[in-house]
Chain A
Amino acid sequence: MQSSRYIIKRIILAAVSLFAIITLTFFLMNLMPGDPFMSEKATEENRAILIAKYGLDKPVYVQYGKYLANLAKGDMGTSYVLQKGRTVTEIISESFKVSMSLGLRALLIAVVIGIVFGCVSGLCKDKLPDGIIRVLSSMGISMPGYVIAAGLMIILGVRLGILPINYNRPGGWIMPTIVLATYPASYLTRLTRASILEVMNQDYLLTERAKGMSEFVVVFVHALKNSLIPVITYLGPLTASILTGGFVAESVFNVPGLGRYFVSSISSRDYTMIMGVTIFYSALIVMMNLVCDILYKIVDPRITLE
């Protein structure tokens, strides 16, 4: 009963957040100087016609109402500048396929590396493997994505020439995936290590040892299971990190994904694209956070419902 109330509360909160983001972005976007057709070679007259055609001459709140009404019907409009005439939904679904295939690989790599290295590090506390892993993970969370991208390009792409720099060549997905996975993998390693160390001090493990359970069962069955719970909470921010990491990785390696549209849509004032991409990203992140929080409570009944 209480948990369903919590879930309903969270869903309402997520919806309100999403609505706040849509509203805020819409009005901020219209506050930006310039309009989608400012770079058009057309005369003032043609520009005025275009602006009238898309209804951009009406007051902002009227445009906002119209946009919301269309959005409710699932219509996000057509792109004004970047890919003129195509619908935003079409562009997003096409380019997100590419981003998602990279993102999912990065996610998988990050989770596997993070948990394995975190466990090794936590179980060998203060020994050599722990030291090496801690140094590497500290470096991993300190290097911005573009630094890793540049480093990989110089060393693997240019000097050694092992991997292609361009995404369209075979094996081109490897470097962008490494760029996307480094930060989350390092963060997860640290998180798992801290969590393992905490669990290893719990009394119930002492009890199990006292009862004569084998060390293997104690560590890998009982300790590990509980220490992986906090990892679930990181999956939401992890998604966000991989998505925003895409802005850099996709532009450096020429990946035809969704990330590169985010910045270019803003600088070209492609209003419908800005809204479409922002709504899509925010909805994805807000939903991942929601799912993680609910999952967290289900997996660990000790956590009290707010």
Chain B
Amino acid sequence: MKVNVLSLQSKIKPEDFTPLGEGYFAEENLETEEIGYWKASWQRLRANRIAMVALIIIGILAVFAFIGPMLSPYTYDQQVRGDEALWPCLSHPFGTDRLGRDILVRCMIGTRISMIVGLVSAVVVMIVGSIYGAISGLIGGKVDIVMMRIVDIIYSVPEILLIVVIKMVISEPLDNLIQKVPFFHGLQSIGSGLIAIFIVYGLLYWVGMARIVRGQILQLKNLEFVTASRALGCNSSRMIRQHLLPNCIGQLVATVMLQIPSAIFTEAFLSYLGIGVSAPMASLGSLTSEALNGVTSYPYRVIFPAALISLIILSFNLFGDGLRDALDPKMKK
């Protein structure tokens, strides 16, 4: 056949039209396993070394905070006579404070408080924020406008100022409530300070979450694949389970995870200012502020709680970042 060198047409030969042999695809593995959303996310997360290290550190801190105090011979408010103001030694690895209280146990309790604050506030924010956002997004119209204006106003309020004021206001009535009403006696061990902090988070921190949930719902409602699956006869429960939830749960979980460090941050800040958890309960913030008075002679008392709070926030931050990338690969830049 005569071939034109300058021709731009594809050069086809007669052999190209012969059928392929029987075993041509045999080597190719056609059975690639179909993996679900969570498994795929977990695989992405596991590949992220920083996030996995952060997760392990969080695990270690949890053991330190929740099991540690049981193993210690001291309790957080026990004042050991004769052991006042000790430098770190064998019987008190972190030393003791002015009153002879073991700083290691106090740090464990402080870590426990930080973790509880982080997790509970995450749950509170998730529940309040999703319900509010979902109602606003689903109903739409005037209700949506009013609800979102309220969110806008709360959003523009400098939260830390209100947190301080609200915290001061509700602490004392809460104290009375817990002590006088038998139904609330169970809460005594948590303390009114901590409950006041949870209430404050519930009142103020959910607005970001509500905005995200509403945005997701509005966006998903109008997407083609939702219309398509509805046209194919998909019922509501399958729609929610198979299409809506998987598409927004990733972002929700990621947002909530990144809420945890900021909640811990705020609690430490409040306790540092002396308006967080009430004495003799130990928080990493109050431990540091107590210790700062004697910083020139006893620097070790500052170092341990300060390092712990930084480590907690750092590992939650890094894990949250990794989780966001894993759950929502579209967002990864």
A positions within 8 Å CB-CB of B:
13-14, 16-17, 20-21, 24-25, 28-29, 31-33, 138-139, 141-147, 150-151, 153-154, 158-159, 194, 197-198, 240, 243-244, 247-248, 251-252, 262-263, 266-267, 274, 278, 281-282, 285-286, 289
Of B60-68, B158-166, B225-233, B248-256, the stretch lying at the interface with chain A is B158-166
Contact of B295 among A28, A150, A244 (CB under 8 A): A150
Tally A-B pairs: CB < 8 A.
121
Find chain A residues with CB under 8 A from B307 CB.
147
Interchain CA distance A198-B331 in the complex, whole Å? 11
Q: Name the B residues within 8 Å of A244 (CB-CB).
A: 158, 160-161
Q: Give the distance in Å from the alpha carbon of A252 to the alpha carbon of B152 in the complex.
A: 34
Name the prevailing secondary structure of the A interface residues: helix
A138 touches which of B172, B273, B318 (Cβ 8 Å) = B318
Chain B: residues with CB nearer than 8 A to chain A?
149, 152-153, 156-158, 160-162, 164-166, 168-169, 172-173, 261, 265, 268-269, 272-275, 285, 288-289, 291-292, 295-296, 299, 302-303, 306-307, 309-310, 313-314, 317-318, 333
Within the assembled complex, what's the spacing in Å between the Cα atoms of A289 and B272?
Answer: 27
- Cα–Cα, bound, A267→B72 (Å): 36
Chain A residues near B333 (CB-CB < 8 A): 194, 197-198
Q: Which residues of B contact A32 (CB under 8 A)?
A: 168-169, 172
Q: How far is the CA of A14 from the CA of B152 in the complex (A)?
A: 9
- Minimum CB–CB distance from B188 to chain A (whole Å) comes to 20
Contact of A262 among B153, B164, B265, B268 (CB under 8 A): B164
CB-CB under 8 A from B303, the residues of chain A are 154
Q: Is the CB of B310 within 8 A of A143?
A: yes
- Residue pairs across A and B with Cβ atoms less than 8 A apart, 20 shown, are A17-B152, A17-B157, A20-B157, A21-B158, A25-B165, A32-B169, A138-B314, A139-B310, A144-B265, A146-B268, A150-B288, A150-B302, A150-B306, A197-B333, A262-B161, A267-B275, A281-B158, A281-B161, A282-B157, A286-B158
CA distance A289 to B285 in the complex (A): 29
Contact between chains at B157 and A150 (CB < 8 Å): no
Whether B299 contacts A158 by the Cβ 8 Å rule is: yes
Of all chain B residues, the one with the shortest Cβ separation from A158 is B296
Closest to B175 in A: A33
| Cα of A232 to Cα of B149 in the assembled complex, Å | 23
In the complex, chain B residues whose CB is within 8 Å of the CB of A151: 306
- How far is B83's CA from A106's CA once the two chains are assembled, in angstroms? 43
Q: Which among B153, B166, B172, B285 has the greatest number of chain A C-beta atoms within 10 A?
A: B153
Closest beta carbon of chain A to B206's beta carbon, Å = 17
Q: Are A24 and B169 also in contact (CB < 8 A) when A14-B156, A17-B153, A248-B269 are? A: no
Closest to B296 in A: A158
Cα–Cα distance between A139 and B261 once the two chains are bound (Å):
13
Question: Smallest CB-CB separation from A14: which chain B residue?
Answer: B156
Closest-by-CB residue of B relative to A151 is B306
Chain B nearest CB from A122 CB (Å) reads 10
CA distance A25 to B288 in the complex (A): 29
Looking across the interface, which residue of chain A has its beta carbon closest to that of B314?
A: A142
A147/B157 contact (C-beta < 8 A), A13-B152, A158-B299, A198-B333 known: no
For A17, what are the chain B residues with a Cβ–Cβ distance below 8 Å? 152-153, 156-157
Say whether A13 contacts B156, CB under 8 Å. Answer: yes
Q: How far is the CB of B103 from chain A (nearest CB, A)?
A: 15
